[in-house]
Amino acid sequence: MRAILNIAILLTFSTVALAQQSPLRNFRDGNHSFQNNQYNAAEILFRRGLATDSTDMRGRYNLANTLYKQSEYETSAEMFNQLLGDRRLSSSQKADIFHNLGNAHVRTENFEEGIEAYKQALKLRPNDNDTRYNLAYALQRLQQQQQQQQQGGGQGQNNQQNQQQQQRQNQNPNQNNQQQQQQQQQQQQRQSDQLRKSDAERMLNAMDRQERNTLDKRKQINVEQRGRAEKDW
């Protein structure tokens, strides 16, 4: 998951700055809650800020990330899609949004749209290794999904054949061994599907852990290079 964006607050004394103090304070406190894994509190604060300034890109982006963290993947994806229509976005910001949009789609096993989102992110930022890793994962999961669908169609035909076979079996008891073999094969197939699902979940969790590790390294670099300006929206 791409990092939540910190909001830089300029200390000015104009009337406009004072008028915007309330939403900015909500966004700042929302960032703090997010970083402390208090996602429900962060969502409330971001929504309060957006109630005052619904056009704030940082607030909208951070709210979408917060919903993702609360497993509200479909709602998060909708917000990312809406945010992509903002003409103020830079190429780098769009790449971040496409990346997170891909993650949301993958979480709901909508792999085709997740793959397309990752591809759009890589068009904007070709050297992003995190996105490349996630794209490879989504392609693998799509292939597994398609294989399972094909097997499901084959199982429908097998069920019909089993019914016919049962009818023949009533006439010929010697076919009991063949039926038992088929049942064992079906049981083994179900166990194999369960293992694939478990493996997929572990890979998806590993994907999130890899991105968190990458984010921690970037934070460490920022601390060591305090003299350089932070990149922000």
pLDDT 10s digits, 126-152: 999 999 999 999 999 999 999 999 887
Report the C-alpha gap between 75 and 101 in whole angstroms: 11
CB–CB of 32/62 below 8 Å?
Answer: no
The answer for 71, left when phi > 0, alpha when psi is -120 to 50, beta otherwise, is left
Positive or negative torsion for Cα 121, 51, 230, 29: negative
Number of CB atoms found within 10 A of residue 95's CB: 21
**Consecutive 10-residue runs of the chain (233 residues): their mean pLDDT?**
48 35 87 96 96 94 97 97 96 97 97 97 96 96 93 68 60 57 64 58 63 49 31 37
Q: How far apart are CA 49 and CA 46, in angstroms?
A: 5
37-55 tens-digit pLDDT: 999 999 999 999 999 999 9
Whether the full predicted model's pTM is greater than 0.85, yes or no, is no
Q: Are 50 and 83 in contact (CB under 8 A)?
A: no
